[in-house]
Structure formats: C-alpha cells, structure tokens
Structure 1
Amino acid sequence: MSSPSAPPPGWYPDPRDPSVERWWDGAAWTQVRRQPVPVPVQVPGPVPMPVAPVVQKPGGGGRGKVVAVVAVGIALVAAIAVGAVVVLEDDDGSTGSTADNGPTEQATSASPATGSAAPAPPSPSEDASRVTDQLNGITLPVIDGWQKAENVADEDVLLTTPGTYICPYDDGLCRHGTVATHTVTNVAAGTSPRTLAEKDVSDAADRAYDTNAVGQRPFGGMTSHKVVASRQVAVAGRAGYLVRWQVTTAEGPGGYVQSVVFPSSVGSEAPVAVRLTLDAVDASPPLTDFDTIVKGIRPVGAEGGDGGVGSSVGPTP
C-alpha cells in the first residue's frame, strides 16, 4: 500500500516549539512562524453513545458487512492522520526555505533550534607572520617594519618595507627595503657558499642600486661599494655564508645590500640565495633587521626554533 500523501500547505504547530505555529509549504517546513490564531470555541453537540458491534449471523442480512466496512474506514482515517504527523516531524530537517507562495507574516520569536544547518567554521587564515618560498622550501618571518610583498614587478621579492617614494633619478617608485629569494643556478661542482655569496651580492647590488630589471637607473648608478660583513652563518639549520655591502650611488643616500647563500633542504639541495636591500636613510628600518630576518628563516613545515644564527654550523666547503 502506498504511503499517505503529505499534508497540504498551511499553519501547523511547530514540532520544535509547539507554542507557536510554523508554515508548512506542502513539502518542507519554512522559517516563518507566528503566534497561534485563537479558534472560536464551539459548544459541542450531543455526544453519540457508542454502539455495540453487531455480529452477523449466518444467513442474516448485510448489516454485519456494513459495520465491518465502517470500522475499516475509521482505521484508515486514523492511519492517514498518524502518517501526516510523522511526515511533519520527519521533514523538519529539510531545506527550510520559504516557498514562493508562502505566507508573508514574520516570525514573532526565534526558536532555539530551527532545524537549519549550523554555519560552517571559518577556514584557517594564512599565517600573517611568515611568508613562504615553496620552491626552495623555506619560510621567512614578517617582522615589524616589513610586510609581504604587494604590487612588485620582481616575483622573487617576498618582503618589502611599507609604502613607496619617488626614485631620485629615473622616473619610478622606489622602496626603502626589499627581501628576495631565488635558486642559484649554473653552479660548478664544489663551489663554496662563500664564493656564491660574493658573486650574488654583486649581482644584487647592481639590480638594486645601479640598473634595474627594466633598464632604469633609479639612483643614477652605483659609484662604489665596500664590504662591511663577511662570515659563515647557519640558515634554517644549513651551513651557509653571508656577505654585506655598503654602496654609494650617484643620486640619493646609497644603502646596504646583503646576500646569504645556503643549500636548500629539499630536492637536490640546490643553493638558495636570500637578497636583502635597505636604503641608508632614517625612514628605513634598522640594519639589524637583516640579522633578524636571516635568523628567522626556517624550512617549510618546521615548528619552533629559529634554525638560523646560533644553530650549529657544520664545515663549509
């Protein structure tokens, strides 16, 4: 036998809160509720006395059959009523959207449990305190006075100082500080991190203070330099080498350029270079930020520890 059909659209007691009525759109509960509308009290008429069932004797008339049919009809009506209540209860967890032809009355009170799905938890946001170089398997700290790179032409740049200023020579916008990473290529076997760092800092100085990637000379060219630091250093637990230059330019105050080269901890362990530049002006962060950033470099996925300066440094080739 087929299941009883769903009740027609209308106001029914809210299964979650019977003190209010909730609109059933014929297929699912909506979110519209109202206070029950008072029903006029009717004086009940005479209550019919129950009639004892009549047993049909053999050979008698058809009265017994009539009584049996009436009893079956009453049972069927009761089954349909019960089935309608079950449908209302079971469909309470449905979509709960208001039907197109549903009522326009607003809910008078919110039920503590409306059957609607709970909001999904927010997805974890990206760690604002670190920036990742996925290719070389390292992360760098974003310290005070620095930010993740935005709107920069060089895709290797991961960190910059906030804001820009008009370059003192060629037209364009300059930044007081940048931090970039890249993989050192075309390395001959047995080349030491020191040799690679000494070459890389020269390339970094040319790019930052002499002629940039698009052929401009923001500071009128670099006129001289001197080495102000050259030492072995541990970066992300790997033995590397650091070289820092102070440069003088034709226009502007000049600045500092540092290159740190160390083997990557992923893949073929190709050398990784971290280039840091900083204008020699009061508006720039302190030069000690170079050491803080390098000290905070970690392998991707590392937890705790700085893995940088102060870690044990093995022999450098």
Structure 2
Amino acid sequence: MSMTPPPGWYRDPSYPLVERWWDGAAWTDHRRTPETVQQPLPAPPEARPTGGASGRAKAVALVAAAVVLVAAIVTGAVLLRLDHGDGDTAAQTTPAVASPDGTDGPSPTPSGPSPSAGDPSVVVDQLNGITLPLRAGWTRPKYIADHDVVMTTPGTYDCPGDPGLCRHGQVSSRTATATDVTSPKALAEGDIKDAMDSVYDRDALGSRPFRGVTSHTLVKAGSVAVAGRAGYFVRWKVKTRVGPGGYVESLAFPSSVGTQALVIVRFAFDAGADGPPLSDMDRITKGIRSVGGTDAGGGVGSSIGPSN
C-alpha cells in the first residue's frame, strides 16, 4: 500500500539531473542542483553473465551504456534551455508516481534529510532554504489554514470585529513567484499593504476581524542582511476600527536555494500589552539562517532595536 510522500526535495522525474520541490500534494516550479551525485544501481546478480560472456551480451551492454550517455546529454541540454526559457514549460512536466488519492507525487524517499528538522529551537522553511529562530513566547502553527504561517503566539482570543479567533502575533514565509520584481526594496515596499490587509483588514475567508484599517504610519524601513544576503524591510503601525491595532512588517531577501527567487517574511504583531515584543521582529530577522549553512546572519541593519 503506497502513501503520499511528505513535502521535500526529490529527483525531478522528467529531468533527473536536478531536484524539484514536492509540496505534499503537487510539484512546484522550484528546482535545485542535487547536493550529492546519485550513482547508478548495479545490475542484479541474475542479470550478470556467468562464465564467459558472449559477444552479443557485450554488444548489448555497450549499446545500453551509449543510450544512457546520450539521454544524459539530451537531458542536460533541455535543462539549459529551461533555465533560460519560460517557467511555464517546466510546470508542464509530469511526476513519476501516482498517489492513492489521485494526485501525482514523487517516490516516497527524499534525496536527503531536512537539515535542522529535529532542532526544537528553529522552524525550518525547506522550500526557501532558511531556518527561523523559535523564540520564547512563540510556537509552531496549529489549526491554521494559511500554509505560509511558520510560527504564532500561543493561544487565541475572540476577534473584536467579525466572529472568529485571532492571534496576537504571527510570522509567515513565502516565495515571491507572482511578480517580476527583482529588488528586495521594491518587493518589500510593494508587499507591505497586502501584509497589513491580510491580517487587519480582510482575511482569507472574507471576514473583517478588526472591522477594517483606519490608518497606518511608517515606523521604519531600510536595508538588512538576512542569512548573509542583502535584504530590505518596511514596518508600519496600523490602527483598526476596533481592537488595539498592531504592527506589520514585510522583509524581502533572496533565497539561498533553487533559482534564488526573492523570499518575503511577513510579521504581524498586535499592539498593546497582549501583543508580542516589537523587538522580536528584529531578533527573528537577525536569527534567520541558511538551511545547513554557517552564515553568521546579522550585518547591515542587524543592530536595529525595538520601536514604540
């Protein structure tokens, strides 16, 4: 009995010289060069000739080896074309194994373990190649429909606006794929309103937990090094029609894996005594690391302090 493989990096079934990200339900457009070279499996004992091999068997073996070599060359050429072509072409590849629920998936064994996956002090975003520090007062997300959320404050409270449950703080991480923007500064400046609206104006279900935003003001913005890469952040203070309002931040920086597309980390903290310390935005940013890497983090903007 087969089962749906967990999210992870797997050999691309159509282009086996690279690895492709499987999100647990479907292939994504994220690819990367394998960290280790897969060796071909040896032929089973019963398939190997015993005693003196016939000339025909040797010829067949040579032809098979030539076919493998040609296939590898053709695959490499196609990959080079894909790297410089339209991303829609890559999206049309089909995975190799069908899962029981009808969705196509990779083979159940990933190409390697998830680095830091067992470390309780960090949250691993394998897709974007980063880990985020899980500070005191934060927990891994539970019962949240938004799969981009990587951590929340524990517990919930009744939203002051439309009926529902709200959280005093949340952090999310996603790849910015639906944009042609290549500058972290431009991406952060363009994303901050969406970051505000998705939490404090109208959520994904169409509810208005705070009955909408009445105003916002810029708290700070600037360059910051994230996992050894140059990023940019924008932070707003938000006032809502009901409730204490809050703070939102959009942090943009290049991913350390795959095509190195830009990553957006969003922060949303309620204001007031019940909200998390605003300094946690800076401390979480400073603690972001590359998965399996040794970068020191920090850098430009690493001394940013809390804002009131």
Which position in structure 1 is the counterpart of 2:228? 237
Answering whether residue 274 of structure 2 is matched by residue 286 of structure 1, we say no
Which position in structure 1 is the counterpart of 2:67? none
Which position in structure 2 is the counterpart of 1:223? 214
Give the Cα–Cα distance (whole angstroms) in 1 for the partners of residues 142 and 270 of structure 2: 19
Give the Cα–Cα distance (whole angstroms) in 2 for the partners of residues 169 and 143 of structure 1: 29
Which position in structure 1 is the counterpart of 2:298? 308
Unmatched segments (≥5 aa) in structure 1 = 1-123, 313-317
Q: Alignment partner for residue 201 of structure 1, among 184, 192, 212?
A: 192
Answering whether residue 286 of structure 2 is matched by residue 295 of structure 1, we say yes
Give 3-state SS (helix, strand or coil) of 2:191's partner. helix
Answering whether residue 242 of structure 2 is matched by residue 251 of structure 1, we say yes
Deviation, structure 1 residue 311: 8.4
- Contact 2:117–2:124 (Cα < 8 Å) also in 1: no
How many residues of Structure 1 are paired with residues of Structure 2 in the alignment? 187
Unmatched segments (≥5 aa) in structure 2 = 1-115, 303-308
The sequence identity of aligned pairs, in percent, is 57
Matches within 5 A, 1:271-282: 271-282=262-273
Which position in structure 2 is the counterpart of 1:260? 251
Which position in structure 2 is the counterpart of 1:177? 169
Q: Which has the larger Rg?
A: 1
Q: Alignment partner for residue 142 of structure 2, among 138, 150, 153?
A: 150
Give the Cα–Cα distance (whole angstroms) in 1 for the partners of residues 237 and 300 of structure 2: 24
- Contact 1:295–1:306 (Cα < 8 Å) also in 2: no
Q: CA 1:262–1:176 in 2, change beyond 3 Å: closer, same or farther?
A: same
Which position in structure 2 is the counterpart of 1:141? 133
Matches within 5 A, 1:120-131: 126-131=118-123
TM-score of the superposition, structure 2-length normalised? Answer: 0.58
| Cα RMSD for the two superposed structures | 1.8
- Contact 1:297–1:306 (Cα < 8 Å) also in 2: no
Which position in structure 2 is the counterpart of 1:161? 153
Which position in structure 2 is the counterpart of 1:47? none
Give the Cα–Cα distance (whole angstroms) in 1 for the partners of residues 160 and 301 of structure 2: 41
Q: CA 1:228–1:281 in 2, change beyond 3 Å: closer, same or farther?
A: same
- Contact 1:254–1:280 (Cα < 8 Å) also in 2: yes
Letter in 2 for 1:245: W
Higher relative contact order (CA 8 A, sep 6+): 2
- Contact 2:222–2:301 (Cα < 8 Å) also in 1: no
TM-score of the superposition, structure 1-length normalised? Answer: 0.57
Letter in 2 for 1:228: V
Give 3-state SS (helix, strand or coil) of 2:218's partner. strand
Give the Cα–Cα distance (whole angstroms) in 2 for the partners of residues 259 and 311 of structure 1: 15
Letter in 2 for 1:200: D
CA displacement 1:137-185 (0-9 Å, x = unmatched): 1100000111111111111001100110000011100000000000012
- Contact 1:194–1:240 (Cα < 8 Å) also in 2: yes
